Structure 1
Amino acid sequence: MSRADGQDVRIPILYEDNHLLGIVKPVNVPTQEDASGDADLVSLLKEDIKIRYNKPGNVFVGLVHRLDRPVGGAMVFAKTSKAASRLSETVRSRKFRKVYAAVVHGKLPAPTGSLKDFLLKDAKTNTVSVVKPGTTGAKEALLDYEVIAETDRYSLVKVELHTGRSHQIRVQMSHAGCPLYGDQKYGNGVNKPGQQIALWSVIVGVPHPVTKEEIVLASLPPAEHPWNLWPEATLNALTDKES
C-alpha cells in the first residue's frame, strides 16, 4: 500500500472473512481521517480491499475501536454494516477485550494491580487529566496491569482495559508515577523529542458478529528499542497465554 506522501505502508492481515478484518496497525498512521490530511488506516484498507477483490464502487470498512496515531498493533474492523453494529454493541457492553503492552519509566507499586481514575478531556488541547470523582464531564477509567519484566529504569507492563477512554493508559500510568517511554504529552519531563511511544495493542478479542465464536487477534511489538531491552521469550509472554 502507499500513502499520500509516497511511502509504502505495510499492513499485515491477522484475520479475514466476509464479516471481519483483523490487521496490525502501523505506528504513526491515523486510524481515520484527521486534520493532518495524511493517508489514514480506514482509507488504506478500503483501497486494499478494492484492489485485492477487484471490487467496483464503494467498499465498506467499519471502524469500531481506535488506536492513537503513534500506537501500533492489533485492530479489528467490520466489513459489513451489520457486523459494525454488532461489534459496536460488544464495545458498549464491555465484551470487547483490549490488551496492550507498554514500556513505562520506573516501577509500579505492585507486580499486579488495578487503576481506577476519573478522566476529563480538554478537546481544545486534546489532552486528558485525572480529576476528582463527580467532576462535570469526567468519565470513570478502569484497567488491570501485570508487570512482565523490569530493568533498573523501565518496566514492561501488560495492560487490560475495561473502559476505552481517550489516552487512558498514557494518562493513568503517568498519574501512577510511571509515564510511558516516548510519550511527549504525558511524560515530557522524562522523554526526549522524537522518541516513539512504547504502547502496542497485543490482543483484541471479540465474539464473531455472526458465528459468536471468540476471535482473538495477537500482535507483538517490534524488536526495536525499548522493546528489545528484553529477550524474545519475555515479549512472547505478552500473548502466549492466548494461543
Structure 2
Amino acid sequence: MPEDEDFFEEHDSPEFADDENVENELYEHHRIIADKGQGLLRIDKFLMIRIENASRNKIQQAAKAGNILVNGEPVRQNYRVKPLDVISVVMAHPPRDTEVLPEEIPLNIVYEDEHLLVVNKDAGMVVHPGYANFDGTMLNALVWHLRHRPGAGPDAMPLLVHRIDKDTSGIILVAKTEEAQTRIARDFFDHTIKRTYQAIVWGTPRENEGTITGHVGRNLNNRLIMAVFPDGSHGKHAVTHYKVLRSYNYVSLIECRLETGRTHQIRAHMKHLGHPLFSDERYGGNQILKGTTSGTYKKFVENCFRLCPRQALHAKSLGFIHPVTGQEMFFDSILPSDMQSLLDRWERYVSGRGENQTSQ
C-alpha cells in the first residue's frame, strides 16, 4: 500500500445517512516513495500495482491532466520509475458500483456545456444515492436530464467532483466527462477552486473577519457530528475564512470562504468559534443561544426555527478555471427564501418593528 493515502472520508457511513457525509471533495490523493531497489518500470504499470483498485483508464486520465508528479514535476504515463522517486497522484474518485436510476425531478441547472454543468441545489435534496437514500437525489435527476437530451446516449452519467449537505442549499459543480472530472479534482486538491458560503449564526464573532484553522474529524464521543482538534491530534487539516456581513446582535449573517472541504467543516468550525449555525440541530444551533429563554422573545425565536427548520447555510458562489477551455468561470446565487425571510424577521425585530411576529 502507498505510504500515505488521502481518501475522502467514510462517504457511505450510516451515521451520516440523512444529510450525507460532506463537504468533501471527491478525489483520491496518493503519495508513494519508490523502494531503494526499485527497477525501471513504466509509471502506469507501477501505479496499477501500488494503488488498490486503480484502473488503467483512471491512471491515464490522471497523467493526461498532469496529476501524476514525480519529485514535484508532472510526468507522462510512460515515465520509468527510479529508486526513491517521490510520486504524488490525484485521481477523481471512481463511480459508485450501485446503479443510479434516472428520475424525472426538477432541477435548477444554471449552466451546462459538453464538459460540465452547474446546479443550484434546493435545501432538502440529497446529492447522491447512499445509505438510506436510494432515490430522489440530485444524481438521479441528473441521470434523467442527461439521458433525455437530444443525441444523448444510454450511458450518459454525471460525475461528481464535490458535494454539499442535504439541508444546505446552493451551487454544485458536476463533470460530464472523465477528463473534466480528473482536471477539476486536481483543482480541488490544489485549493484553486474559489468557494463562498453564507450562513446565519448565533451571536456575532468578536472579530469582523478572521480565519479558523483546526483539524476536523469525527467527534470522539458522538460519531454523528464532527469536532475540531486544534492540536491536530485527530481529523484532517481544515481552514475556513469568515467575514461578518450583517449583525443583528442576536444573530449574524456571515460569509465563509473555504480553503479545504472537510465533512461539516463550516458547521464544526463555527461551533468551535462559539457561534453555531442558526437552527443547526446537530451542532446545538436549534436552541436559544443568545437572549432570554422566555417570554415573547422565546416565541419569536421558535417561529424563526419553524420558518427555517434546517441549518441556515447556503453555498453562494463557485469560481474555477474551465477544465477544457481554460476560461475563468464564476457562478453566484441569491439567498434562498427561507434564509432571506429569516434575516428580514431579525431585521424587523432588532429595529423594534417585530412586536407582532411572535404569533406568526
TM bracket, shorter-chain basis: 0.7 to 0.9
The one of the two structures with greater contact order (alpha-carbon pairs below 8 A, sep at least 6) is 1
Q: TM-score if structure 1 supplies the norm length?
A: 0.85
Q: How many equivalent residue pairs?
A: 225
Question: What are the residue-to-residue correspondences of 1:206-217 with 2, within 5 Å?
Answer: 206-217=320-331
Q: Distance in 1 between matches of 2:171 and 2:257?
A: 14
Instruction: Tell me which protein shows more strand as a share of its residues.
Output: 1
Q: Distance in 1 between matches of 2:232 and 2:315?
A: 30
Q: Distance in 1 between matches of 2:122 and 2:228?
A: 29
Are 2:273 and 1:176 equivalent residues in the alignment? yes
Greater Rg by CA: 2
Are 2:336 and 1:222 equivalent residues in the alignment? yes
Residue among 164, 174, 181 paired with 1:84 = 181
Question: Helix, strand or coil: the match of 2:131?
Answer: coil
1:215/1:121 Cα in 2 relative to 1: closer, same or farther (>3 Å)?
Answer: same
Counterpart contact for 2:198–2:254, Cα < 8 Å = yes
1:78/1:230 Cα in 2 relative to 1: closer, same or farther (>3 Å)?
Answer: farther
Question: What are the residue-to-residue correspondences of 1:49-128 with 2, within 5 Å?
Answer: 49-53=146-150, 55-121=152-218, 125-128=223-226
1:47/1:222 Cα in 2 relative to 1: closer, same or farther (>3 Å)?
Answer: same
Q: Distance in 2 between matches of 1:171 and 1:211?
A: 36
Counterpart contact for 1:129–1:171, Cα < 8 Å = yes
Which residues of structure 2 form unaligned runs of 5+? 1-100, 289-301, 348-360
Question: Helix, strand or coil: the match of 2:263?
Answer: coil
Which residues of structure 1 form unaligned runs of 5+? 232-243
Are 2:123 and 1:27 equivalent residues in the alignment? yes
Runs (4 or more) in structure 1 with deviation over 6 Å come to 191-194
Q: Distance in 2 between matches of 1:160 and 1:18?
A: 29
Q: Distance in 1 between matches of 2:342 and 2:135?
A: 27
Q: Deviations over 1:13-64 (max 9, x none)?
A: 2111111101101111111112222421112111112123352412121100
C-alpha displacement at 1:189, in angstroms? 5.8
Q: Distance in 2 between matches of 1:197 and 1:12?
A: 21
Counterpart contact for 2:214–2:232, Cα < 8 Å = no
1:182/1:60 Cα in 2 relative to 1: closer, same or farther (>3 Å)?
Answer: same
Q: Distance in 1 between matches of 2:105 and 2:346?
A: 27
Are 2:132 and 1:18 equivalent residues in the alignment? no
Q: Deviations over 1:50-87 (max 9, x none)?
A: 12335241212110011011101011100111000000
Instruction: Tell me which protein shows more helix as a share of its residues.
Output: 2
Q: Distance in 1 between matches of 2:166 and 2:111?
A: 22
Counterpart contact for 1:60–1:81, Cα < 8 Å = no
Q: Give the letter for the 1:28 counterpart.
A: G
Question: Helix, strand or coil: the match of 1:139?
Answer: coil
Could you tell me the percent identity over the aligned residues?
A: 28
Q: TM-score if structure 2 supplies the norm length?
A: 0.58
Q: RMSD value over aligned CA atoms? A: 2.3
1:213/1:230 Cα in 2 relative to 1: closer, same or farther (>3 Å)?
Answer: farther
Question: What are the residue-to-residue correspondences of 1:159-198 with 2, within 5 Å?
Answer: 159-188=256-285, 190=287, 195-198=309-312
Residue among 186, 205, 212 paired with 2:319 = 205
Partner of 1:130: 228
Q: Which moved more, 1:27-36 or 1:119-128?
A: 119-128
1:88/1:176 Cα in 2 relative to 1: closer, same or farther (>3 Å)?
Answer: same
